[in-house]
Amino acid sequence: MPGEAADAQLCPPADPHEGAPAATGGAEPLPAPTQAAEPAAIPSCKDFLDCLVDGNYGGEEDKSVLEAIANAILLRGKRPQIRLKHTNGRVVVYARQMSPRKALVKSSQANKRRAAARKLQEDTRGGMVGTRRDSPRPAREPVRLTVAEQVGLAAALRLSHIGFNRWRLALGGRRSGLASLSVLRAARRQLSDLPGKQVIVTGSGAHLASLTAAIQERVSALCDADAFVERPLADTQREPSGSAGAPAVAVLPGSPSPSELDVQITLGLDKGGDPGTVKIVATIINQAHPNSPSNTILVAVCPCQDDKYEELAAMLETHLPQVDALLRDGVLVRGVHRPVRLLLGSDYAAQCNVLGHKGASATQPCLGCKSTRFPSVAQAVLDDAYGTLQDVDTRRHLREATHFADRMVAEGAAAVVGEPGTAEHHCSVERSPLLAINPRQIVPIPLHCTLGINHRYLRLAVEMVMVFRSSADGAAAGRQAGASFALELVGLLHEKVRVRPTPYHGGLFIGRDCHTIGDSSALVCNALKGKVSQSHLDAYEQAWSLWNRVRKTLNRASIIPRAEAALFRADTAAMVRLLKGSFPWVSISPKLHILMCHAPAFLESFGSIGLYGEQGLEAWHGRYGQSAVKYPGATELERAAAFMRAMALAREAGADVLARYAPRRKPAVPGARMARKVGDKRRRENKPQLPICGAESRKAAKKRKMWAAGITKEAATTVGAHMQRAI
């Protein structure tokens, strides 16, 4: 021990900046002795050393303080050498020696070195440990949530007050820092009265009282948490290649100029669940994960049988004045008013209903342009003027930016198709649009496109088998071959790809499974060998490889680099041309058309399609279904209202709150978490084998049969019509 003190003598206050803040008033950078000799005046370094050498210190009670002094001197010093003078007069010098380090080390050692380098940098900058900007947690202080955040968290986790109280008691009651039940209830009442959280119940469903307030509240919370992400648009809203006559971007509420800073809000509605309810959801795109359910705003839950125009009009009635106000007044972002850019989410059918459009089977089915569905004699004027969806190389005539704002046809008016350019000509929009949306701001439905195109590809496989066999053995044999191949295909997908048709989305494969099927497309192609002509098989393989690239860009919820967006445009065009060129019976559905003609423009303009997708909306069906049991009520409307109230409160514990104290981790490299080792317990063969449940496998087999029968029927109709035309 004496040695350390001697060193202190050799180095008087050489490191004043390293002295503890408490010592700033005194000349000495040694705070420890103040504790040891508190009543007396602070001794000088020399006095302290003399005392130490005399043996006045060194008892058990001083041991810890002396150790602290030694640590303060020895560990924090940056001197190249330390001199120790022993009691016998001998001086020992300890010099720092650098030992050579390996130049190449593995990740664990590299991480340690990086951490050491960071610490060194901080020390030279004078920063204190624990105040790094990227370290969100201040030192080791206990985490404190406000009462409102606790109310929100309890609602988000669907935790009852009794359940919450049990946690509180288990964590030490008052000492836990959690609010008592009475405080919690009072805060809940107070929060529920806020305009952004109030729920009103009408005949059409349970609605948020003020969509405007709810959006403003979320935007302010994002700004406070420094989580508001700017989403600048590309300078010019570029039109698809070959478009002509499209007017410049009109000044439309909800469609500010691309150069202006805006707040992007997607409004979507979708029917789902059992019993069916329409959920209206608003998504603020200006955040990191806009489609995460906890980041979206549930605007209404409306129990319904149907989701056609009339029903949607009743459901939206409460919110339309709010939307108007939102578009007129904008949203405050850090004290500055910003215009709102309104985008229309939902699936295609709902988009058509909201806009008063006749739907996918209308004469002019596209919401973005005026092309007709098929060439026909009756619509020859329109076909000539605007081209058809089937024409892959035609010029597209985009709808005017104000097309859906015009309320062009009076409600209830008879649907008429006039000459292009006349007042009667309304491009299949038969009702007054419920929302004024710029056609360039209709989201190209990435999720539903993925579902639809995946299904189309599987159907195409069956059709190819039918065509091949029909040409050799006649239509009946072709149909038979198609039916047995459909069954084989769904069995293969079940056995090898481990996907199965779902009871919703029309009994198709759902989103996740579509990606799995795409990744295993080689299996589907292999199964076709010998059953189809080689030229068809080659084209089919090529079509899958194009789609596999396209679907990844289409669905990725992040900003897509420019080069990839350009590739997307080329790939979608090549894919649709290939399908049309190699398989003459394939008709370009509105989804394929959107993918080819409108998705690339949207991607180039907004930087991403996946960020604007329908996933956040669809997720609410699952959430509602799971939570129904927690919010019992005599009627569906009561359950919906209780659920809405809880979810409005849950927004208090959004991602900004949860991320405040949580450590932030870099996302793993894609594929880094795959089970690659043979012994990995996540692999199917290493999991405990359970006996096969007979009832379950019979049900699955029945579902597969239904899927196969459905797809065979569709394929037979298409191939039959194609054969007829060929004759």
Cα 538 to chain centroid, rounded: 36
State in angstroms the smallest separation of the CB of 428 from Zn ion.
12
Closer residue to Zn ion, CB minimum distance, 353 or 364: 364
State in angstroms the smallest separation of the CB of 349 from Zn ion.
16
Cα 564 to chain centroid, rounded: 20
Closer residue to Zn ion, CB minimum distance, 239 or 618: 239
Closer residue to Zn ion, CB minimum distance, 362 or 366: 366
Q: Is 175 exposed, middle or buried (0-12, 13-18, 19+ CB in 10 A)?
A: exposed
The CA R_g of the chain, rounded to the nearest whole Å, is 34
Closer residue to Zn ion, CB minimum distance, 222 or 366: 366
What's the rounded Cα separation, in Å, for the pair 176 and 10? 49
DSSP β-bridge partners for residue 200: 207
State in angstroms the smallest separation of the CB of 552 from Zn ion.
23
State in angstroms the smallest separation of the CB of 240 from Zn ion.
8
Kind and range of the H or E run holding 329 = helix 320-329
- The CA distances from residue 228 to 286, 617, 621, 695, in Å, are 6, 21, 27, 50
DSSP β-bridge partners for residue 264: 341
Q: Indicate the SS3 state at residue 200.
A: strand
Residue sitting closest to Zn ion (CB): 366
Closer residue to Zn ion, CB minimum distance, 340 or 554: 554
> What's the sign of the alpha-carbon dihedral 237, 238, 243, 244?
positive
What's the rounded Cα separation, in Å, for the pair 620 and 602? 25
Nearest to 600 by CA among 239, 91, 127: 239
Nearest to 311 by CA among 354, 275, 355: 354
Closer residue to Zn ion, CB minimum distance, 73 or 369: 369
> Token pair 């899927």 is at which residue?
707
Closer residue to Zn ion, CB minimum distance, 339 or 368: 368
State in angstroms the smallest separation of the CB of 366 from Zn ion.
3
State in angstroms the smallest separation of the CB of 371 from Zn ion.
6
CB 428 within 8 A of CB 680: no
CB 723 within 8 A of CB 475: yes
Tokens linked to 353? 């209903």
> Token pair 């004027």 is at which residue?
381
Residues that bind Zn ion (CB under 5 A): 366, 368-369, 597
Q: Phi-psi region for residue 226, left (φ > 0), alpha (ψ -120 to 50) or beta? A: left
State in angstroms the smallest separation of the CB of 660 from Zn ion.
44
State in angstroms the smallest separation of the CB of 369 from Zn ion.
3
Helices (H), 126-171: 147-156, 161-170
Closer residue to Zn ion, CB minimum distance, 309 or 348: 348
Amino acid symbol at 437: I
Closer residue to Zn ion, CB minimum distance, 594 or 653: 594
State in angstroms the smallest separation of the CB of 539 from Zn ion.
25
Q: Is the peptide bond before 275 cis (omega within 30 degrees of 0)?
A: yes
State in angstroms the smallest separation of the CB of 593 from Zn ion.
5
State in angstroms the smallest separation of the CB of 357 from Zn ion.
12
Cα 524 to chain centroid, rounded: 30
State in angstroms the smallest separation of the CB of 243 from Zn ion.
10
Closer residue to Zn ion, CB minimum distance, 69 or 369: 369
Closer residue to Zn ion, CB minimum distance, 331 or 429: 429
Closer residue to Zn ion, CB minimum distance, 121 or 241: 241
Tokens linked to 37? 């000799």
Closer residue to Zn ion, CB minimum distance, 313 or 398: 398
CA atoms within 13 A on the CB side of 566: 3
State in angstroms the smallest separation of the CB of 432 from Zn ion.
22
What's the rounded Cα separation, in Å, for the pair 490 and 485? 9
Question: What angle do the packed helices 211-224 and 320-329 form, to 10 degrees?
Answer: 40
Tokens linked to 57? 């210190």
State in angstroms the smallest separation of the CB of 594 from Zn ion.
7
Nearest to 407 by CA among 345, 356, 370: 356
State in angstroms the smallest separation of the CB of 370 from Zn ion.
8
Q: Indicate the SS3 state at residue 271.
A: strand
Closer residue to Zn ion, CB minimum distance, 357 or 479: 357
Closer residue to Zn ion, CB minimum distance, 366 or 601: 366
Cα 366 to chain centroid, rounded: 27
CB 438 within 8 A of CB 254: yes
Helices (H), 520-662: 521-528, 534-555, 562-582, 590-593, 599-606, 615-627, 636-650, 655-661
